[in-house]
Chain A
Amino acid sequence: HVQLQESGPGLVKPSQTLSLTCTVSGDSISRGGYNWTWIRQHPGKGLEWVGNIYHTGSFHFSPSLQSRLSISMDSSKNQFSLKLTSVTAADTAVYYCAREADLPFFFDSWGPGTLVIVSS
């Protein structure tokens, strides 16, 4: 039974970098067959895909965020991480990490989510 857990600061100042980590248990992020994804949800709004990283270490980002976004993985800790630079209030959201299957496409396991507020 795979479990994911997000961690990181709940408050980030404008113009700084938002950094989150997702710790995975019950599966290996370096095993093929799944990708590892970040999804966010602005308060009271819908879901927005942020980006993902493949078990090979390659990645794919949302076109609207790619200039500020990086995603990396640490196989030794079974973690993957998100960094979003130059944040503004518009980046305030609940951030979820999830496991993504490719064919068929779905997100079958989600972390509980972590609220990140961008404010001075």
Chain B
Amino acid sequence: SSELTQDPAVSVALGQTVRITCQGDSLRGYYASWYQQRPGLAPRLVIYGRNNRPSGIPDRISGSISGHTSSLTITGAQAEDEADYYCSSRDTDDDSVLFGGGTKLTVL
């Protein structure tokens, strides 16, 4: 089956811009959705579809897609953005669900 690949860790200076990427063949057929997980809490949906945010998600968080790479961009990173971020999509082979390995974002 397919897989989604994320960098294990990324850091960003406070107020700067950071991009977190997710690569996988399934992303040619399905948009990725993105989840933020703070320690001890359940994941929270932050981006879905082409570039949609649920209510309550700040507009400094955005999504994009190019080929088989989906990206989550945080423009003007804040301390509260420090978390683990996971991408997810359907597997085009068997319609199961894939998660990326997660990216730990540190805000310096």
Contact = CB atoms under 8 A, between A and B. Distances in A.
Nearest to A111: B42
B31 A49 contact: no
Contact of A105 (B44, B90, B101): B90
B89 A105 contact: yes
B101 A110 contact: no
B96 A96 contact: no
B48 A106 contact: yes
B33 interface: yes
A32 interface: no
B80 interface: no
Count class of interface residues, chain A = 20 to 34
A119 to B, nearest CB: 21
A110 B42 contact: yes
B42 A113 contact: yes
Contact of A112 (B42, B97, B102): B42
Interface string A15-46: 00000000000000000000001010000001
A47 interface: yes
A46 B42 contact: no
A86 interface: no
Interface in B12-52: 30-31, 33, 35, 41-45, 48-50, 52
